[in-house]
Each structure stands twice: as C-alpha cells, then as structure tokens.
Amino acid sequence: MNVLFLTLIDFSTIDEYGLYTDLMREFVKDGHNLYIISPTEKWKNEPTKIMDYGKTQILKLQIGNTQKTTLLEKGISTVTLESKFKSAIKKYFNDIRFDLVLYSTPPITLQKAVEFVKTRDQAKSYLLLKDIFPQNAVDLGMLKTDGVKGIIYKYFRSKEERLYAISDYIGCMSDANIEFLLDNNRSLKRSSLEVCPNCIDPMDIAISEDRKREIKQKYEIPLDKTLFIYGGNLGKPQGIHFLLECIKNNETSPHAFFLIVGSGTEFTKLQQYFHQGRPENAKLLSQLPRSDYEVLANASDVGLIFLDPRFTVPNFPSRMLSYMQASMPVLAATDVNTDINEVLKKGNFGYWCESGNLKEFNLLVNKLCDESLRAEIGKNARTYLENHYTAKHSYEIIMRHFNEGK
C-alpha cells in the first residue's frame, strides 16, 4: 500500500524514537511505501525539501511559525496549515495514489488536505486521536462557548466535527475517549471508533548501579531517597499548582525526593517557587543533554503524572509509556474523567488519586517508598507495556481494516 502520514511533529527520519516514528517503522517493516509530510517552521530558515529513504519519503514542508512567536502569528500559521499541506500534496505527490491517509490530533486543521486525498485517490482515512480540541481549551478557561472567544470556539468546533466526519476510522487512546466522543458527537457511529492507544517500540534499558550513582551525584540528587520523577511538558493541562502543593507538603519527608524535568508555559511559576522556597526535597531542571536525561529518568524510582482537575475530556498522557519502559511504577494525580485509574488497576503497575487530594497523594508516596513493592509493580509496568502498548499492536489494529477478508 501507499501510505500518507500527515503530522506536525518535526522529524527528518523515522529511525528516531517516538510515538509516531515507532508506528511508521512498522509500516515500512511490513513492506508498505511510506510518504510523510513533516513541517519545519519558518524561523528555522530551512526550505521545503524531500528526503528520500527508498521505501520512505519525508517531505519537510516549511510552514509559518507556531512556536517562539506571537499569538497572532501562531493563529495565522495554524489556520493556513491545511492549505499548505494540500498544496504540497499536489506539488510533490501528484503522481502518487494513496491507499491510506493517517493523521493525528493535534491539530484539527488538516481537514481539507485529508479530504483532498480521500476524494482524489478514494483512500481510506484514519485519525489517531491524541487530543480532543477545542473542548480541552474550554475546560481550562482558554476558550469559551460564548462571547468573542465563543466565535473562535465555534470555528474550531466546526473543524473538529468535519474532521471526524471525513475519518473512516478514529483510533482513540482509551475506552473513555470513545464514550466521550459518542456522548458529544451524535453523528458519530460506534463502528468507526476503536481503541488504538499511544504506543512505542520498547527499548531494552540496562543502566548499571554505578552509572545511576554518577548521574545522581552530578545533579546533586540524594542517593538514599526514593526518587519520584516528573518529566515532560510543564503547562496548564498538567495542573502544576497541585504538583507544587505536593512538593511543599512533603518537605519533611525522610524518604521521598521529587525531580521535575521539563519546559512549558508554567515553568516560570515553578522556577519562582524553587528560587524563593529552596525546597530540600525537590529539584527543578530545564534543558538537559538528551543522554543525561535518559540516564537520569531511568535511574528514578517512580514516574509521576499530573493533570488539571477541571478536565472533562479524558486525557491519557503518553509520558506514562516512558515510565513503563523503564519498569517504573506510576503515580497519577488527575481529574476523574480519565480512565488512567482503571488501566493502572488492571495492569497493577501503579496508583491513582484525584488531583487536589493531598492526603491520598501523601499516603501513596509513602507506600511507594517501599523498595520491594516498587520492584514488583515496576515489573508489571514493563509487562503491561509489552502486551498492550507496542507500535506493533497499534499497527495491527490499523491494518485489520485492510486485511479483513484476505
């Protein structure tokens, strides 16, 4: 088959490790011809070009700026994405007839490009739903359903509905995602929805105790405490205020140490707290050499997940997979609408509490300071990952629609 993948992730080879590149490699392994449009933003000053790897061709498409820019420029760049992608398909892939077009949210603004391929080639379309926008923005107060912001909401909501309508199949991250879509989109049919979760190609991670000790000493992290790590985006969706409360509330804990590594819109808020409060039980790091971060993350004991309690949209953060890959227990503090809790229970690889419930969070922190318990449920995490969240599993879910009857 000829497969087209549309994404806003900036990469130049599918040999990189990540949610989408891992999945794309499965298509190539199975003999498909893969075509990818991956953007490069204008500020990088890199012209549009095709990178030919034989069975894989990656079109690096120059688009407007959506990062490191003003809100106005970001808005214009986002709205013009679909026209740029559609024009690129016409110009660079005009002689290719696609059997399948894959795309993910975010964004929801590639609808016209998908429609063009479907109409021109009679291709099947598959949406990898990683984000339910604009409702998640409404949950956090960034958009409203009325007033001036309501106009913006209605525009994006119409784009969302159209994107769902043109998708032959929608792969959702969890069962809760499916139920949310059905409850809020009456035109959708259950038969077009299925669970196609976040997935990776699990790596074997073996780090010696000496190397773990070295990396902790380098970043002045205690050797005698249970290391709870939060790695990734530090933005409004993560409910950073509760993360700060948890750190403050555990300042006198003799066993727990919190490591926060990442960047995002809320990083400054965290930075101010660490500068003023100087907590002895926690450390905040921003940019690290990738090799250092990987060793540090895998030298940790427990992986943390935080989500804002206001969410009505059931999110399922992909960072959980990196914790599971490292055979780490997961401690999640989230809203009540996500079904992370059910998955943690089913796989017996971590614990959950509602965001804002400090008493329960502290009890779970103390519980996970037990080394023998961590070893047992950490092993369960790796096993559950290999049985449910591998790129091969997701590839087979997608291809089932094309292999039926063969």
Helix pair 340-347, 371-388: axis angle to 10 deg: 110
pLDDT of residue 206: 78
* Pairwise CA distance, residues 85 & 77, whole Å: 12
Mean pLDDT, to the nearest integer, of 334-355?
96
Question: Apex CA 120: angle with CA 114 and CA 121, to 5°?
Answer: 90
pLDDT of residue 382: 95
pLDDT of residue 291: 79
Q: Please say if the pLDDT value at position 258 is more than 90.
A: yes
264-313 pLDDT, tens per residue?
Answer: 888 888 999 998 888 889 999 987 877 788 888 889 999 999 999 999 99
pLDDT of residue 345: 96
Lowest mean pLDDT, pick from 81-95, 281-295, 301-315, 344-358: 281-295
pLDDT of residue 74: 79
Q: Cβ of 274: how many Cβ atoms within 10 Å? A: 16
pLDDT of residue 404: 66
318-336 pLDDT, tens per residue?
Answer: 989 999 999 999 999 999 9
Q: Please say if the pLDDT value at position 369 is more than 90.
A: yes
Q: Please say if the pLDDT value at position 405 is more than 60.
A: no
Q: Cβ of 365: how many Cβ atoms within 10 Å? A: 22
Q: Please say if the pLDDT value at position 162 is more than 90.
A: yes
194-218 pLDDT, tens per residue?
Answer: 999 999 999 887 788 898 999 999 9
* Pairwise CA distance, residues 30 & 402, whole Å: 13
378 or 296, greater pLDDT: 378
* Pairwise CA distance, residues 268 & 143, whole Å: 23
129-146 pLDDT, tens per residue?
Answer: 999 999 999 999 889 999
Helix pair 358-367, 240-249: axis angle to 10 deg: 60
Q: Please say if the pLDDT value at position 70 is more than 80.
A: no
Q: Please say if the pLDDT value at position 150 is more than 80.
A: yes
* Pairwise CA distance, residues 340 & 327, whole Å: 17
Type of residue found at 163: L
Q: Cβ of 298: how many Cβ atoms within 10 Å? A: 21
15-61 pLDDT, tens per residue?
Answer: 998 899 999 999 999 999 999 999 998 888 899 999 999 999 999 99
Tokens linked to 368: 């996970």
* Pairwise CA distance, residues 291 & 17, whole Å: 13
Average pLDDT, the chain: 91
Residue 184: Cβ-neighbour burial (10 angstroms; 0-12, 13-18, 19+): middle
Question: What order do you get walking across the sheet with 193-195 strand by strand?
Answer: 49-52, 56-63, 33-41, 2-6, 100-105, 124-129, 169-172, 193-195
What distance, in Å, lies between the first and last C-alpha atoms of the chain? 14
pLDDT of residue 68: 66
Domains defined for the chain, CATH in brackets: 2-201+390-403 (3.40.50.2000), 209-388 (3.40.50.2000)
* Pairwise CA distance, residues 371 & 218, whole Å: 23
* Pairwise CA distance, residues 134 & 158, whole Å: 10
Residues 6 or more apart whose Cβ sits within 8 Å of residue 190: 178, 182
Percentage of the chain exceeding pLDDT 90: 71
Mean pLDDT, to the nearest integer, of 87-101?
95
Bridge partner list, 285: 261
Give the pairing type, strands 302-306 and 256-263. unpaired
Evaluate whether 194 touches 173 at the Cβ level (below 8 Å).
no
